């Protein structure tokens, strides 16, 4: 019975792992395209519009820990530099 493995691997087969790796790797690229860059929020971008809406909704400032602030933190990843 050597080499006859019947138990499934706990993390799943490689074909299910690859999409997850690609999705995680794509996050900084997608956020950069939206305007969340390591240099800050790009002017006239989707990120700028989101920040403007958040500031208006919060009476002039962007809430710490909110969606825009969190995406900006993730957008500052060193992979983008």
Query: Which of the four pLDDT bands, split at 50, 70 and 90, describes residue 55?
Result: very high
SS3 36: strand
3-class DSSP state of 69: helix
Instruction: Kindly state the percentage of the chain with pLDDT values over 90.
Output: 30
User: HSE on the CB side for 30, CA within 13 Å?
Assistant: 7
Per-residue pLDDT, 13: 64
- Please provide the average confidence, as pLDDT, over all residues in the chain: 81
Instruction: Indicate the domain borders of the chain.
Output: 41-81
Average pLDDT over residues 33-61: 91
Looking up tokens 């995406």 gives 71
Rounded CA separation 6/13 (Å): 13
Instruction: Identify which of 71, 69, 80 has the alpha carbon closest to the alpha carbon of residue 34.
Output: 71
């Amino acid at each position: 019975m050597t080499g006859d493995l019947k138990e499934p691997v706990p993390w799943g087969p490689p074909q299910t792992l690859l999409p997850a790796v690609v999705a995680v790797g794509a996050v900084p690229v997608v956020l950069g395209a939206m305007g969340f860059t390591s240099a800050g929020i790009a002017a006239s971008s989707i990120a700028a519009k989101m920040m403007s809406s958040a500031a208006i909704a919060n009476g002039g400032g962007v809430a710490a820990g909110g969606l825009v602030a969190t995406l900006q933190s993730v957008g500052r990843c060193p992979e983008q530099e």
